[in-house]
A and B are shown apart, each in its own frame.
Chain A
Amino acid sequence: MYGSTFGHQMVQSELEEIVGANYVRADEVSRLVYSTDWSWMPQMWLDRGQPTPQPDFIVHPGSAEEIAEILRIANKYHIPVVPWGGGSGTQGGAAPVYGGIIVDTKRLNRILNIDEKSLTVTAQAGVIGTQLEWALNERGLTLPHYPASANCATVGGYLAPRGTGTISTKYGKAEDMVLSMQVVLPNGEIVRTPVVPQHAAGPDWFRLFLGAEGTFGIITEATLQVDYMPESRLLRAVLFSSLTDALEAGRLMMTRRLQPFVIRLYDPASTASVVHEILGYDFEGAYMVIGFDGDPDIAALQEQKAMEICVGLGARDLGRERGEKWWAHRYDFYYPPQTLKLPWMYGTTETVTTYDKIEALYWAQKRAIEETYRAQKIRYIGHFSHWFHWGAMLYSRFIIEQPPADAQEALALHNRVWNTAMTAVIDNGGMINEHHGIGLKLARFMRRQYGESWPFLLRIKETLDPNGIMNPGKTGF
């Protein structure tokens, strides 16, 4: 709880003056519910009946100007401010570890403009993904960022941790869709980035806010590139007996620019577990779904070329239905009880690197985790879901079904597994994260990840946020 009762009341009334009393909450239930985002640590803690750090206030501003005022107050009293979109982040980025003010952006929920000529949408940061998508679909358009969390994540939350969606392989990461943004800086200044991202009028400073996870300010508005709903979507499944061949097939599809919108390659352990449970298939090997969309003739030709690559590398064609079924059920994996669930311990240790390193990284991480935590009967599964011209993303996971009952012991073990996983990543030339962000969970690895560049990043943070009010403890700051 911030300061004395007197201090608390004083701050509360100042906040109420800005946004109105209805939009400042400090009640017990709200403070409890906002004490955890989707990260395992606080969820586990609460599951075991242990209280977690709570925010002092939850504020719902209605404009960038109101946010600016809130940040001025936070600077005056040195109160932490934690931006909160949908709270679906998995890294503890929105967890109020030092209390303070949660700025929930969901009142910033207006879709300001849909430009059907330039194919852009301008939306406030608190618009929920699926709601934005429904509005676009009514005009035959789509925002091609399809994260499994679209039902709960916000536009600001898409961008702040640099999210990636199911069809990123063709359409890019969320950050690639941004034309421009409005951001409230930590000192309350409101800035607008240039109207388009591709220009030569100075450095690309707008990218500073992508991946900063609220430590450099609060995104309040974004103009994003949208697409027409594709005329066709062709999906197909193939089965490889060797993961190496499957990875090579993916690499060839990408480097030959066949433009698949999805290549989802499950490792043999995932094929035997999640694919079996959600889709009901019993395959041994590496199950891969590939998809092509857009003009039906072009998509069919691209698919044909892709199938030549796959079959040439020994894949068995499983047909269309097995690809379409995956597409239809692609988000079922995220609904309880199908998703991972407490009291289990789990973590998504995802990473990205270039093609020359990705397979070695996979095996190194798998070996390190499985060997180090054999006694805990750890399981390691992975799939490769986001592909680039130069490399691929590995979505790996560890699962321990019977973690220690004691919350502190469980947390300590969890952190040890993460140390092992991230050491394997860094030692094998990977990035410690590709799309979930850093948050609290990976903050301690940032210094190692960035090495001698880290002080440079720290100086940017100190310049933008001299009082360190913005989301302290996150992204390593």
Chain B
Amino acid sequence: MSSSHPPIDPAQATDPIRATDNCRYCLMCRHVCPVGEVTKLESLSPHGWALTIASQRRGLIEWNTDSVGALYHCADCGLCRANCVTDQPLPNAIVAARNQVVESGLAPRPLYTLADALAHWGNPYAEQMPVQPTGAGEVALFVGDEAMYRWPAALEAATRLLEIIGIKPVLVGRGRNNGYLASSLGFAAVAHDLIAATIAEVAAVGARRLLVLAPADLYAFGDLAGERLQLKLPEGVVLEAVTDVLDNALQAGQLALRHAEQLAAWAYVDPTHSARIGRSGDAPRRLGAALGGEPLELFWRRERAHPSGATALRFSLPHMAYLLAQARLQDAQRQGAQIVVTEAPGDLAILSEVAPRLGMRVQGLYELLASQLV
């Protein structure tokens, strides 16, 4: 019997760039692409990037300032793939093209400086080496750089909440980026070293559970590490979101919370990368609802949740990152919210930079929960 579609290119398994041959003429995820949504440009949409890369391979265009600029507009948020029936790894293909651009020395200059900082200091925010873990234990909590330098209140509150339910984790990756930033910008080797260093710490402290504060970390130590860098957590280590752990405790009656008066007309923002990891988003909503009733829902939520700009765009194209943050806040505003709540330190940081301009407030979920402990 003859097949009605061409066979899958077997080379795609080893060369992710080949996924662009599938995506270059497919428009089936354009409706969820956050960058396409704010720019309205076909060239800055999933198939636009795929066609650009595929055309470069065919000699129709070269990598130059314009085309590289376009390539770096993709937020690497994974919405396209999350909404793709055939799971095409387009974000990986775009990143693979960036790897080539970086290797040819054609990426924007400031990105090389940024990569040097990541390679040396492990973070782009402070000239400070990551803090080594102290002690050992079954449960580790990945801190990262955003909770260390951008939004420390989240870490303080999360550790307090965990303590209340009897978990005292060993802190790992204190001040070290989760590897996403370098990977997304096309610096695979730097990303590899960052993730490998955290994995080594997890192994060294003997943890069986690795807790993380944000979906970005779930993605970095899960799919990103495996698919882009062929790395994985030590055998038997389970990766868990702190929100899930707290939600389980809430359901089991181990966490008692008071109603938060200040939490009126609030919307929950699913943090960046939520959609690509297939997170339902029920746990943080239930936790929030325990404080202030049901949240108002953004149009771009749950499986179609747009990123808030807490992606590599913050460094490569800050203007685009702020546009995404603004779009999230305006989405919340349209639903009647004055306050947005989320848990991810990176999202909290960028949203709170933009919120005052729109007369809105941003609240960290962990901090809110910690302030309402009975």
- Taking Cβ atoms with an 8 Å cutoff, the residues of A that contact B are 25, 27-30, 32-34, 36, 38, 43, 46-49, 51, 58, 60, 84, 86-88, 104, 106-107, 109, 126, 128-131, 134-135, 149, 151-152, 270, 272-274, 276-277, 331-332, 334-344, 379, 381, 399, 401
CB distance from A475 to the nearest CB of B (A): 22
Give every chain B residue within 8 A of A129 (Cβ-Cβ).
31
Residues on B with C-beta less than 8 A from A27 are 43, 66, 70
> Once the chains are docked, how many angstroms separate the CA of A27 from the CA of B39?
15
Taken together as a complex, chains A and B put the C-alpha atoms of A87 and B46 apart, in Å, by 13
Kindly report which residue of chain A lies nearest to residue B86, judged by CB atoms: A335
Contacts A29-B61, A29-B70 aside, 11 further interface pairs with beta carbons under 8 A come to: A27-B70, A29-B52, A29-B66, A32-B51, A49-B59, A60-B40, A332-B85, A336-B23, A339-B26, A341-B25, A344-B6
| B84 pairs with A32, CB closer than 8 A | no
Chain A residues near B64 (CB, 8 Å)? 28
A276 proximity list for chain B (CB < 8 A) = 1
**Closest Cβ–Cβ distance, residue B315 to chain A (whole Å):** 21
Contact B66 A106 (CB under 8 A): no
Instruction: List residues of chain A with CB within 8 A of the CB of B41.
Output: 25, 30, 58, 60, 104
Show the binding face of B for A, using Cβ within 8 Å: 1-9, 22-23, 25-32, 40-43, 47-48, 51-52, 55, 58-61, 64, 66-67, 70, 84-86, 88, 299, 304
A162 to B234, CA, bound (A): 57
Q: Are B52 and A337 in contact (CB under 8 A)?
A: no
**B contact residues around A337 at 8 Å (CB):** 5-9, 22, 86
- Residue of chain A at shortest CB distance from B85: A335
Q: A152-B31, A336-B86, A337-B5 are in contact. Are A33 and B26 (CB under 8 A)?
A: no
| Cα A107 to Cα B37 with chains together (Å) | 9
For this complex, 19 residue pairs linking A to B, each with C-beta atoms less than 8 Å apart, are A27-B66, A29-B43, A32-B60, A33-B48, A34-B42, A60-B40, A86-B30, A106-B40, A128-B31, A151-B31, A272-B1, A277-B3, A334-B28, A336-B25, A338-B85, A338-B86, A339-B5, A339-B26, A341-B5
A341–B28 alpha-carbon span in the complex (Å): 14
Let me know if B51 and A46 touch, CB within 8 A.
yes
Residue of A nearest to B47 (CB): A33
Q: Are A32 and B31 in contact (CB under 8 A)?
A: no
Give the shortest distance, in Å, between B200 (CB) and chain A (any CB).
Answer: 39
- Cβ–Cβ < 8 Å partners of A51 in chain B: 60
A109–B39 CA distance with the chains assembled, in angstroms: 12
Alpha-carbon distance A30/B66, docked complex (angstroms) = 10
- Nearest CB of B to A266, in Å: 11
Q: A337-B86, A344-B6 are in contact. Are A28 and B67 (CB under 8 A)?
A: yes
A363–chain B nearest beta-carbon distance, Å:
21
Q: Quick one: given A28-B67, A43-B25, A46-B55, are A331 and B5 in contact (CB under 8 Å)?
A: no
Interface of B, secondary structure class, is loop
Q: Cβ of B31 and Cβ of A273 under 8 Å apart?
A: no
For the complex of A and B, list the 9 residue pairs with the smallest distance between their C-beta atoms, beginning with the closest.
Answer: A152-B27, A336-B22, A106-B40, A273-B4, A49-B58, A33-B43, A30-B43, A335-B85, A29-B70
Once A32-B60, A128-B30 are accepted as A-B contacts, the answer to whether A273 and B1 lie under 8 Å apart by CB is: yes
* A residues near B29, Cβ cutoff 8 Å: 151
**A336 in contact with B52 given A29-B61, A151-B27, A152-B28 (CB within 8 Å):** no
Please give, as numbers and ranges, the residues of chain B lying within 8 Å of A151 by CB-CB distance. Answer: 27-32
Decide yes or no: A341 and B67 within 8 Å by CB, A49-B58, A128-B31, A332-B85 being known contacts.
no
Distance to closest chain B CB from A403 (angstroms): 12
A154 to chain B, nearest CB (A): 10
Partner of B4, one of A60, A277, A336: A277
Q: What's the nearest-Cβ distance from chain B to residue A82, in Å?
A: 13
For residue B48, which residues in chain A have a CB less than 8 angstroms away from its CB?
Answer: 29, 33
Which of A274, A276, A335 is most buried by chain B, counting CB atoms within 10 A of its CB?
A335
Distance between Cα atoms of A103 and B13 in the complex (Å): 38
Chain A residue with Cβ nearest B51: A33
Contact A34 B30 (CB under 8 A): no
A194 to B70, CA, bound (A): 43
* Residues on the A chain within 8 Å of B88, using CB: 335-336
CA distance A218 to B299 in the complex (A): 29
Residues in B whose Cβ lies below 8 Å from that of A272:
1
Please give, as numbers and ranges, the residues of chain A lying within 8 Å of B60 by CB-CB distance: 32, 46, 49, 51
Whether A30 touches B42, Cβ cut-off 8 Å, given contacts A272-B1, A340-B5, is yes
Q: How many whole Å from A70's CB to the nearest CB in chain B?
A: 16
A29 to B71, CA, bound (A): 10
Q: What CA separation (Å) do A344 and B3 show in the bound complex?
A: 12
Contacts of B42 in A (CB 8 A): 30, 33-34, 84, 87, 104
Closest-by-CB residue of B relative to A30 is B43
> Do A135 and B28 touch across chains, with their CB atoms under 8 A apart?
no
Candidate in B42, B52, B64, B66 with the most chain A CB atoms within 10 angstroms: B42
In contact, B5 and A277 (Cβ under 8 angstroms): yes
Taking CB atoms, residues of chain B closer than 8 Å to A33 are 42-43, 47-48, 51-52
A279 to chain B, nearest CB (A): 12
CA distance A273 to B6 in the complex (A): 12
Please, which residue of chain B has its CB at the minimum distance from the CB of A133?
B31
- Min distance, Cβ A140 to any Cβ of chain B, angstroms: 16
Nearest B residue to A88 by beta-carbon distance?
Answer: B27
